[in-house]
Amino acid sequence: MVDQPLWEQIGSSFVQHYYQLFDSDRTQLGSIYTDTSCLTWEGQQFQGKNDIVEKLTSLPFSKIAHSITAQDHQPTPDCCILSMVVGQLKADNDPIMGFHQSFILKNVNDSWVCTNDMFRLAIHNFG
Amino acid sequence: MVDQPLWEQIGSSFVQHYYQLFDSDRTQLGSIYTDTSCLTWEGQQFQGKNDIVEKLTSLPFSKIAHSITAQDHQPTPDCCILSMVVGQLKADNDPIMGFHQSFILKNVNDSWVCTNDMFRLAIHNFG
């Protein structure tokens, strides 16, 4: 069995940790962002852990469960990690929806933080 | 009217250029990658413009059309640009499918190249 490359281990641990926090208590998500992190949530832009957590905790649902369909990880030229997730989520009693999310992870003071986060629901006007 | 930030202008120009090349003549896509660029295509990893273009040109369809549903762009801490695209594609006579693609763009010798590229079809086992 071939060991996973380090960026895949780090990326997949991050992804698992992120959705676990998100689904159990998203007020705790501040720990993964920095004061310069960027979030684009359905096209709306936020910067800094405070604004990001305020946005995430104000989302209008009380219960949410994410399920990951596929995740990919790559090293970037600047020693960061790019992670991309395709999955499904169920918020309260809404129907299951597809979502897409991309993260850049950077090593700062010996821990991995999320500098960039982009989220979109998979809503298309098919036709 | 507020001008778009530079990273959005660069990111959206890149995205337009990429899908235009992809849909018209994907043998030309080598111009946007470097010899260390990474592509993850449906979970398969490729590195370097030659291997990437070989993969993209060997995909089993002759006609393809991408349509962009949403695109987001952010500056990264290392002066790169992260771009994420959610869209639909139609390959030959197959049904329309959703897809998700993320790019990192880096300025090298005064031009923007793609160092990281990840592609996934939006296929879920709903249930």
Indicate yes or no: CB of B78 within 8 angstroms of CB of A76.
Answer: yes
pLDDT, tens digit (0-9, with 9 covering 90-100), for A2-52: 678 999 999 999 999 999 999 999 999 999 999 999 999 999 999 999 999
Q: Quick one: what percent of chain B has pLDDT higher than 70?
A: 95
C-alpha dist (Å) from residue A35 to A46, A100, A108, B18, B62 = 11, 24, 12, 33, 47
> Which of A66-70, B31-35, B88-92, B119-123 has the weakest average pLDDT?
B119-123
Q: H or E segment at A118?
A: strand A111-121
For B74, which of A38, A80, A123 is closest by C-beta distance? A38
Residue A106: pLDDT above 90?
yes
Q: Do A118 and B70 touch (CB under 8 A)?
A: no
Question: What are the residue boundaries of the structural domains of chain A, listed by start?
Answer: 6-21+33-121
Question: Does the structure show a pLDDT above 50 at B86?
Answer: yes
What pLDDT is stored for residue A4 in this prediction? 85
Residue B125: the pLDDT is 59
- Residue bearing the bigger pLDDT, A69 or B4: A69
Three-state SS annotation for chain B: CCCCCHHHHHHHHHHHHHHHHHHHCHHHHHHHEEEEEEEEECCEEEECHHHHHHHHHCCCCCCEEEEEEEEEEEECCCCCEEEEEEEEEEECCCCCEEEEEEEEEEEECCEEEEEEEEEEECCCCCC
CB atoms B126 and A75 under 8 Å: no
A-chain residues within 8 Å CB-CB of B76? 76, 78, 80, 104, 115-116
pLDDT digits 0-9 by tens, B41-78? 999 999 999 999 999 999 999 999 999 999 999 999 99
Evaluate if residue B123 carries a pLDDT over 90: no
pLDDT band per the 50, 70, 90 thresholds, residue A108: very high
ipTM of the complex: 0.93
Q: What is the pLDDT of residues A64-76, one digit of tens each?
A: 999 999 999 999 9
Q: What is the mean pLDDT of chain B?
A: 94
State the pLDDT at residue B127: 43
Q: Looking at the predicted structure, is the pLDDT value of residue B113 above 80?
A: yes
Give the tokens for residue A108: 């700062």
Q: Domain A6-21+33-121: state its class.
A: alpha beta
Torsion of CA A44, A49, A50, A55, to 10 degrees: 30
Residue B76 C-alpha, separation from nearest chain A C-alpha, in angstroms: 7
What pLDDT, on a 0 to 100 scale, did the predictor assign at position A44?
A: 97
Please report which confidence band the pLDDT of residue A127 belongs to, taking 50, 70 and 90 as the band edges.
very low
Mean local confidence (pLDDT), A50-71: 96
CB spacing of A122 vs B98 below 8 angstroms: yes
Instruction: Look up the CATH number of domain B6-121.
Output: 3.10.450.50
Interchain CB distance below 8 Å, A43 and B72:
yes
